[in-house]
Chains A and B, each alone.
Chain A
């Protein structure tokens, strides 16, 4: 489907702040119709942007959101499963509640959005899904066991959904950012961050642009033979 940006509908989860907020602005500026969601209001307005308040792990809310997209736009071209939470803690100090929260948002949220998006994309036999993995998984970061495990699950989902959805013309890939200076890492001590950066081939913080660059590659129409792949930034 050789569509130009202007006619593409892109759904990005977790657009209230951080990477998601950047991506919403980035793709809206490119002329795409951007649909964003987060638990609360976006806190900004943007041309070509529409915000939904939804908990990504609540099946009913997610189905409502997709029902609305189907009725309003009758299509979905791209899904960016950006919404994610982390919690840095030693296992001995990790409450079950944070484990559940992390798994709900990162794994169940990604699953639900992939499933519902694929139902919509199936109709046009074309779609692009980009999930978020993390370098915390291959680097086996201490203190991030649950976060890394949840993202390992996202990676497995990505690889297998790529196969299950190939028949529908949908590609599923993942991008694994290094630490970017967002809320997600604000509570991590500087010294720990430096040690982490030292394990990357290229030792600097990631930028929003590093991430959109990889996403741009996955979603371009020429990438229809690229699926089930994961790209870690920074040479991890």
Chain B
């Protein structure tokens, strides 16, 4: 499941890269920075776009209607939106909670 989710995030980031100036360096895999003070490449609209695209891709792939930007995500000390890796781990966790793990 882990690899599937990374692939899915990379595919969506690739698509987003075509529309934005500061591209997500997807070749870095798990370490690719997304959003935040430490090297984040996305602006807030870019992040919103990526989150929604990944939500829809997860729903298509796993049939689970997750809300990635929920209150938990916003209050976590370490934002799940820092890197492709942190976002992957976060989604795996949510899917497990949802009974898909």
Contacts and interface: CB of A to CB of B under 8 A. Distances in A.
B87 to A, nearest CB: 18
Contact of B52 (A64, A67, A119): A119
A63 B58 CA distance: 14
Interface of A: 60, 63-64, 67, 70, 119, 122, 167-168
Contacts of A63: 65
Contacts of B65: 60, 63-64, 67
Contacts, number: 13
B49 interface: yes
B56 to A, nearest CB: 7
Interface of B: 45, 49, 52, 55-56, 59, 65
Nearest to B55: A119
B56 A70 contact: yes
Given A119-B52, A122-B52, A67 B59 contact: yes
A147 to B, nearest CB: 30
Contacts of A67: 59, 65
13 contacts: A60-B65, A63-B65, A64-B65, A67-B59, A67-B65, A70-B56, A119-B52, A119-B55, A119-B56, A122-B49, A122-B52, A167-B45, A168-B49
A70 B60 CA distance: 10
A122 B49 CA distance: 8
